[in-house]
Chain A
């Protein structure tokens, strides 16, 4: 039996990659295929593959960067490197990306729930209620999130075991997928940033979680595993969705996996299985939202005098307010994501690379050992 002292909020490297992977899979299964299938068509799976490759390359960059953080999160580190105001601005920018990710994630699921189960319930009511459980979960700390990920990934895996082999694979039409690259590389490349920005957003959580990871020397395999597992699911989902519905119809579907599940019946006894599957998705969506919220709060706590729990409440309040305001529907959300993807990726890369470069210039001798960090630090 492993013993950790009470209040010691730390997770293992394995829990971190499961957390990243589970959160991504939740996003992937909800809407991400449409983001890649929209432009790439039948080559969506190649776009997914390349996107995973790009995410892995970014993971290597990120892992090299986070090793410089030592016992700090990005918040404290950027204050050291950039000074008080610029450091705060950089961190707030990342907080904003993470909070926007949490909002988009929860909002997407709310829309799914509205469509599937509660067409007469006002969206804003559901959005607010969707924010509260993740806020509570994030408030309980990273430790619980890490262990929740282990269970949620099991739930998601079980769900896919039901969906893909039973329903989709027998009806798969390979003519929708082949031949590859009929229209060249351009549509594939143009669809990569949309998915990549989600992958990057979840990788950014490592900037907040790094000081709380037990085995920090394993941060690179951790980030790569998180990307590879989620990327594999995305490739699989893309193949199944396009193979099932065809590239033209798949491009129009807002939530292809949901559409797949609609075809599912168990022996004619239980119908409308999509409601059940959406109910199973709720923990996954909650986990993803909670993880992003916690990461944003951790960064916020690093640049203010707030404790992480208080910062979580603040972040949750911001998302609740955003959810209560008149908000876009799922289609508009997808459009926004498509438009903002590339600028966001560039902004993320700019923040990381410039901070790294500035640190190298100011403190060239800073130790970047794999083992420099030692044990996980204590959460405030």
Chain B
């Protein structure tokens, strides 16, 4: 028997070297008809066709690695492995895909035998953990873009996607925006798999559902819908899926984009969907029927639907003694009011209603304002803008410098403004307290919204006194009343007849008083038995008609 030489796998090569790359880009197809979407292209049994197609679609990129192999000598079968250098774990692919292929591809195997089919190769390659079959080139591209390897075999009109994602991601760390004293120190990361594992680790329930979606025609961003199927209202889940399905974007990078696109009121001043980077918060809220959306590439999950009470939640609420947590929550509510209205009310009182202020205090204020060359409202505006600038600078500067700059800047500017006679000390105190109060709000978006509300309130207070401030507060209140988060009124808990929910939102119940079992969900009730039949009552008019007929 003539021995055939085993053709060793070719060395990995890049599709195009920089030197070989044509200087002028290839002209794109001129009409839409010429462009065929990869998802519509079926994989050809002829590997040459597949190679040329992939070369045409992805060949311009230098980090695409292509291994061409011939299994079983000259009469053997051609196959090709593709992967992206930066995305896939090349060691894993070499060990679990390429080496088994080479070892397995003995010439005797092909001598007179049938050509290998996909199932056979798959069984031989079972050392690789997960292998999926792809029938269209679109699926192959998604696999490659997600860091997996793709194996094409001549004569087979399918490709194998070998899970081998090996890109680096940030390790677990404490959430930056939701710091905690006694709570968990693990936050979600930019890698959606890691974030999902954090949730799964905390919620080992068979009712946990994780739905995968791809959004972004170009970015192909992974989005996951996470909820408890026995608790989350199906109407909300359906609505979330519907709205996510309607998103038509080329690029999706931020979870905030999704938040805006699926929101009931995208232009509302207030954040009406909750953002969190804490896995335990997601788990806690899932057990209350809420749905989480994870987006690959961002550590912020979106929780929905949301109500205004979510503004006051902090990571330590469940970790601290309940009375302390309740007190802190009330403090946050007060902080919100102070943040939005303290400066406007001060300006309104001093400008229009000085008689409302106790006389000794009013005299002090009057003395301190003597010699100040500008109207109070103008100085208040300038001070608020300066505070915002210092805050922004503190965020943008390197962290060790930022905090120091913020503190020193505020103190120095405030002191200098008083000394220079630019601002009265009372106003500086009020502006500083309002600024600090805004930082006491755990929800960053809400803090920003109420800081913004301060400016129109300040203008109204400076022009129309308490009446103006009250009008702005009325507008804000009615606006909050009229918005909904996925059909749920945003102020749902702050209405009469919902006392229990209101208390729950303001106070943290001690664990002994919290039911050990979660609330029976609608599905549990459904399983418990059919709902009681209510005897249908005929409408009054029909009753009257029936009585008349009877009499006749």
Contacts and interface: CB of A to CB of B under 8 A. Distances in A.
Interface of A: 1-6, 14, 18, 113, 117-118, 121, 126, 129-130, 133, 136-137, 140-141, 143-145, 147-148, 150-151, 153-154, 269-272, 275-276, 278-280, 282-283, 286-287, 290, 367-372
Q: Select the residue from B468, B483, B488 with max chain A CB neighbours within 10 A.
A: B468
A148 B467 contact: no
Contacts of A1: 233, 236, 289, 305, 487-488, 492
Given A1-B236, A150-B495, A278-B467, 9 more contacts: A1-B305, A117-B352, A117-B465, A121-B464, A129-B471, A137-B474, A140-B478, A140-B482, A369-B539
B239 A3 contact: yes
Given A2-B487, A147-B481, A371 B539 contact: yes
14 contacts: A1-B233, A1-B487, A2-B487, A3-B233, A5-B487, A14-B497, A18-B496, A117-B466, A133-B475, A140-B479, A275-B353, A279-B466, A369-B540, A369-B541
B352 A148 contact: no
Contacts of B473: 283
B470 A279 contact: yes
A282 B495 CA distance: 19
B482 A118 contact: no
Interface of B: 233, 235-236, 239, 264, 289, 305, 352-353, 355-356, 358, 464-471, 473-475, 477-479, 481-484, 486-489, 491-492, 494-497, 539-542
Contacts of A136: 475, 478
A288 to B, nearest CB: 12
A118 B467 contact: yes
Contact of B356 (A4, A143, A270): A270
B496 A150 contact: yes
Given A272-B355, A286-B478, A372-B539, A126 B470 contact: no
A282 B489 contact: no
Contact of A4 (B470, B487, B496, B542): B487
A219 B355 CA distance: 47
Contact of B541 (A113, A129, A367): A367
B488 A282 contact: no
Contacts of A279: 466-467, 469-470
Going nearest first, the 9 A-B pairs with the smallest beta carbon separation are A144-B482, A3-B487, A369-B539, A150-B495, A279-B470, A140-B482, A282-B470, A147-B481, A283-B474
Given A3-B488, A117-B352, A148-B478, A369 B542 contact: yes
Contact of B470 (A150, A272, A280): A280
Nearest to B290: A1
A275 B356 contact: yes
A153 B496 contact: yes
Nearest to A367: B541
B484 A6 contact: yes
Contact of A126 (B355, B464, B475, B540): B464
Contacts of A372: 539, 541
Nearest to A5: B487
Contacts, number: 133
A273 to B, nearest CB: 8
Nearest to A282: B470
A154 B481 CA distance: 14
Nearest to B471: A133
Contacts of B483: 144
B488 A2 contact: yes
Given A286-B474, A369-B539, A272 B356 contact: yes
A118 B305 CA distance: 42
A269 B466 contact: no
Given A2-B488, A369-B542, A151 B481 contact: yes
A310 to B, nearest CB: 18
Nearest to A154: B496
A133 B474 contact: yes
Given A117-B352, A272-B355, A369-B539, A283 B487 contact: no
Contact of B478 (A3, A6, A144): A144
A78 B485 CA distance: 37
Given A1-B488, A369-B540, A148 B481 contact: yes
A153 B464 CA distance: 25
Contacts of B470: 279-280, 282-283
A118 B477 contact: no
Contacts of B486: 3
A213 B63 CA distance: 62
B368 to A, nearest CB: 20
A148 B355 CA distance: 32
Contacts of B475: 133, 136-137
B491 A151 contact: yes
A368 B539 CA distance: 9
B505 to A, nearest CB: 14
A6 B263 CA distance: 10
Contacts of A5: 487
Q: Select the residue from A121, A130, A150 with max chain B CB neighbours within 10 A.
A: A150
Contacts of B235: 3
Contacts of A278: 466-467
Q: Select the residue from B264, B289, B356, B358 with max chain A CB neighbours within 10 A.
A: B356
A271 B481 contact: no
A165 to B, nearest CB: 20
Contacts of A133: 471, 474-475, 478
A271 B471 contact: no
Q: Select the residue from B305, B482, B483 with max chain A CB neighbours within 10 A.
A: B482
Contacts of A117: 352-353, 465-467
A113 B474 contact: no
Contacts of B489: 147
